[in-house]
């Protein structure tokens, strides 16, 4: 069992488990999704299905965050700026595999938070906790055309394992899409800590 903390702090941001799941938080998250809808929907299939704050509340906060955290299979965090407590986006450590000691990181930022290094900082904070708690491998995937998303694992020192060709159908694009698969091993993370 992976016992991720409910709060992770780094230099400029704090990652918080969205618990308790409140409708006020759902409205705040939905406002950021709405602000960034045109950008996010190109890469994240859930965006078009999130049409109201109620969808955010029941879909993500209750059916994903609460359920997966309780099962020990996924750990979602909202990302807030330390300076002003502004919601910047979200990051998830998910698909936890106890046998193989691996998990996948997924993330999104609102348009007004992009370009400041917040996601690089968030990934480093989550991976640090994951490796300290026993993970051996962390994976990040992104659409091959999503350059901004690909820059995050590059900056964080992940290895590009390869491209999964046409690994998923995307309704928005009406085509099969290719995904980059990145990974970092605990041994690589430990070597980084010694620098």
Q: Across the chain, what does the average pLDDT equal?
A: 95
pLDDT tens digits, 80-130: 999 999 999 999 999 999 999 999 999 999 999 999 999 999 999 999 999
pLDDT tens digits, 63-76: 999 999 999 989 99
Please, what is the angle between helix 186-193 and helix 118-132, to 10°? 110
Q: How is 26-44 classified by DSSP, letter by letter?
A: HHHHHHHHHHTHHHHTTT-
Domains of the chain: 7-193 (3.40.630.30)
- Mean pLDDT for the stretch of residues 23-33: 96
CA dihedral over 182, 164, 136, 78, signed as positive or negative: positive
How far apart CA 180 and CA 80 sit, in angstroms, is: 27
Q: Is the pLDDT of residue 60 over 90?
A: yes
100 by Cβ neighbours in 10 Å (0-12 / 13-18 / 19+) ranks as: exposed
Tokens read off for 156: 């964080």
Task: Specify the pLDDT at position 176.
Answer: 96
Task: Specify the pLDDT at position 45.
Answer: 87
Task: Specify the pLDDT at position 1.
Answer: 79
- Mean pLDDT for the stretch of residues 165-186: 94
Confidence at 171, pLDDT banded by 50, 70, 90 = confident
Task: Specify the pLDDT at position 158.
Answer: 98
């Amino acid at each position: 069992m992976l016992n991720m903390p409910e709060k992770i702090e780094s230099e400029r941001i704090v990652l918080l488990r969205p618990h308790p799941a409140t409708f006020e938080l759902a409205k705040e998250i939905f406002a950021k999704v709405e602000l960034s809808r045109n950008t996010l929907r190109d890469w994240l299939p859930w965006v078009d299905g999130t049409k109201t704050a109620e969808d955010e509340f029941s879909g993500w906060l209750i059916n994903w965050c609460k359920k997966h955290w309780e099962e020990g299979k996924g750990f979602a965090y909202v990302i807030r700026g330390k300076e002003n407590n502004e919601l910047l986006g979200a990051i998830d450590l998910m698909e936890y595999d106890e046998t193989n000691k691996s998990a996948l990181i997924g993330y999104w930022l609102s348009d007004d938070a992009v370009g400041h290094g917040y996601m690089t900082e968030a990934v480093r904070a989550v991976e640090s906790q994951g490796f300290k708690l026993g993970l051996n491998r962390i994976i990040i995937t992104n659409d091959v055309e999503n350059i901004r998303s690909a820059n995050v694992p590059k900056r964080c020192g992940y290895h590009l394992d390869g491209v999964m060709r046409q690994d998923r159908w995307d309704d928005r694009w009406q085509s099969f899409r290719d995904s980059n698969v990145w990974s970092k091993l605990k041994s690589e993370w430990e070597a980084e800590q010694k620098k």
